[in-house]
């Protein structure tokens, strides 16, 4: 399992030339063989990886400097950890956490093959942080927790930064990436922008087509489908509300095209989440197509990514609400995720995963 080219073993031992403004992350990336991590000849291709451009964006936002102590949650292929190791240099340390033992073992081996001694990967539940090497100057997550964990804030040094995807509603796939500054143990969002990663789960996730949480009912025959209802707390133990709502959207449903222009999904998704409506619903009714809308115990209407509106009836009350939401979205000129005002709301109700929920407002 040798590297394909000897020059791939080099490290960013020299900083950019003095007086030359060179972005540090792209400069570091020149020394890290990305495909050696994501398509390693011994381990094979890992599906648990993100677009390198997005990885570079998040690490650039993290503002890492030499000598820092950094933790990442979500080891993946090991590529992001290698980039961080280049940025902190020999005097710094990178701790990488993942729930997947297989990924951790291979990432440690690949780092060792390349001679990286300042990054170490560990198997653990990242939502609990990793107190052993805390406090951390920088914290970055490549997986989406249920909320901003109290442990991440407690284990970040005063003045330190957290860059992580956070949910903006209690249904899947509604996230933004946040830049959070910690002062005196309190987090403040400095920036929020479009993006998201796989949900943080208590065990390795094998089905990458199904959300990792908040799936209130799923069908596997005759074809896979699922639904997530923000009103799940009022449903019964048989999930009757979620089950029948999904059935209404799948069988003998009313369909119509959305009359507006092509759907800007990140904008529409963020707008729907910002409404903070308890009847908000996310569903997967067709392969590779998500849908967002309004449902109750007796009515349902959603808009799919392809611009198809699906409802239980042409006169459905939920369809009226959905049309009102879409009209308000258009009136607001389809705001970008970056234009919302983010706020962290403390959630300390005795749960182990207490922390802060993120909410966006116009």
HEC string for 296-323: CCCCEEEEECCCEEEECCCCCHHHHHHH
305, part of any domain: yes
Last residue of a domain, one of 142, 163, 181: 142
Give the pLDDT score at 11.
45
Query: Tokens 């780092």 sit at which residue?
Result: 111
129 and 33 belong to one structural domain: yes
> Is residue 159 within a helix (H) or strand (E), and if so which, with residue range?
strand 156-167
The C-alpha atoms of residue 290 and residue 255 are separated, in whole angstroms, by 15
The number of helices, as runs of H, and strands, as runs of E, in the chain is: 9, 19
126 and 35 belong to one structural domain: yes
Distance in Å from the first CA to the final CA of the chain: 53
> Is residue 52 within a helix (H) or strand (E), and if so which, with residue range?
helix 52-62
Give the pLDDT score at 258.
97
Query: Which pair of structure tokens corresponds to residue 249?
Result: 């959207």
318 and 223 belong to one structural domain: yes
274, part of any domain: yes
- Say which CATH number the domain at 68 has: 3.40.50.150
Which range of residues forms the domain containing residue 239? 217-331
Last residue of a domain, one of 113, 142, 171: 142
* List 50, 80, 274, 318, catalytic entry: 50
3-class state of residue 284 by DSSP: strand
294, part of any domain: yes
| For residue 58, cis peptide bond before it (omega within 30 degrees of 0) | no
138 and 22 belong to one structural domain: yes
For the chain, the domain total comes to 2
The C-alpha atoms of residue 40 and residue 192 are separated, in whole angstroms, by 33
The answer to whether 234 and 246 are in contact (CB under 8 A) is no
The C-alpha atoms of residue 183 and residue 189 are separated, in whole angstroms, by 11
The C-alpha atoms of residue 331 and residue 335 are separated, in whole angstroms, by 10
Residue among 160, 168, 164, 147 nearest 186 (CA): 160
57, part of any domain: yes
Query: Which pair of structure tokens corresponds to residue 356?
Result: 């802060």
50 is catalytic: yes
- CA-to-CA dists, residue 147 to 14, 102, 281, 352, angstroms: 39, 26, 19, 12
The C-alpha atoms of residue 147 and residue 345 are separated, in whole angstroms, by 10
Residue among 173, 178, 129, 125 nearest 155 (CA): 129
78, part of any domain: yes
- CA-to-CA dists, residue 322 to 106, 126, 198, angstroms: 47, 37, 27
138 and 226 belong to one structural domain: no
The C-alpha atoms of residue 93 and residue 95 are separated, in whole angstroms, by 7
74, part of any domain: yes
Give the pLDDT score at 8.
36
Last residue of a domain, one of 108, 142, 176: 142
135 and 18 belong to one structural domain: yes
Give the pLDDT score at 5.
33
The answer to whether 168 and 360 are in contact (CB under 8 A) is yes
12 and 123 belong to one structural domain: yes
208, part of any domain: no
Q: Can you give the pTM of this predicted structure?
A: 0.89
pLDDT in tens, the chain (362 residues): 333 333 333 444 455 555 444 478 888 888 888 888 888 888 888 876 677 888 999 999 999 999 999 999 999 999 999 999 999 999 999 999 999 999 999 999 999 999 999 999 999 999 999 999 999 999 999 999 999 999 999 999 999 999 999 999 999 999 999 999 999 999 999 999 999 888 888 888 777 778 989 999 999 999 999 999 999 999 999 999 999 999 999 999 999 999 989 999 999 999 999 999 999 999 999 888 999 999 999 999 999 999 999 999 999 999 999 999 999 999 999 999 999 999 999 997 665 568 999 999 98
322, part of any domain: yes
């Amino acid at each position: 399992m040798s590297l394909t080219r000897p020059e791939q073993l080099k490290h960013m031992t020299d900083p950019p030339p003095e007086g030359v403004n060179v972005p540090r992350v792209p400069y570091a990336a020149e020394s890290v063989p990305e495909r050696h991590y994501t398509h390693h000849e011994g381990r094979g291709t890992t599906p648990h990886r993100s677009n390198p451009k997005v990885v570079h964006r998040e690490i650039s936002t993290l503002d890492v400097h030499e000598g820092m102590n950094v933790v990442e949650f979500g080891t993946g292929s090991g590529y992001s950890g290698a980039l961080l190791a280049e940025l902190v240099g020999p005097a710094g340390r990178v701790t990488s956490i993942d729930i997947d033992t297989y990924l951790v073992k291979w990432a440690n081996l690949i780092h060792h093959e390349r001679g990286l001694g300042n990054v170490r990967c560990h198997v653990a539940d990242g939502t609990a942080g990793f107190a052993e090497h805390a406090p951390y100057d920088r914290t970055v997550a490549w997986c989406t927790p249920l909320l901003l964990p109290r442990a991440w804030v407690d284990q970040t040094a005063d003045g330190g930064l957290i860059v992580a995807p956070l949910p903006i509603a209690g249904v899947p796939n509604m996230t933004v990436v946040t830049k959070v500054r910690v002062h005196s143990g309190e987090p403040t969002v400095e920036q929020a922008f479009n993006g998201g990663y796989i949900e943080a789960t208590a065990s390795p996730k094998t089905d990458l087509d199904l959300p990792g949480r908040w799936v209130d009912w799923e069908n596997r025959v005759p074809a896979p489908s699922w639904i997530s209802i923000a009103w799940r707390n009022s449903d019964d133990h048989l999930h009757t509300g979620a089950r029948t709502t999904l059935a209404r959207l799948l069988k003998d449903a009313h369909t119509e095209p959305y009359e507006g222009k092509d759907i800007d999904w990140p904008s529409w998704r963020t707008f729907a989440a910002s409404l903070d409506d308890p009847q908000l619903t996310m569903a997967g009714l067709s392969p590779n197509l998500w849908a967002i809308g309004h449902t109750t115990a007796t009515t349902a209407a959603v808009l799919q990514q392809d611009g198809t509106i699906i409802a239980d009836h042409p006169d459905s009350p939920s369809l009226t609400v959905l049309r009102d939401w879409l009209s308000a979205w258009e009136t607001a000129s389809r705001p970008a995720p970056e234009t919302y005002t983010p706020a962290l709301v403390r959630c300390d109700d005795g749960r182990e995963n207490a922390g802060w929920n993120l909410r966006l407002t116009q």
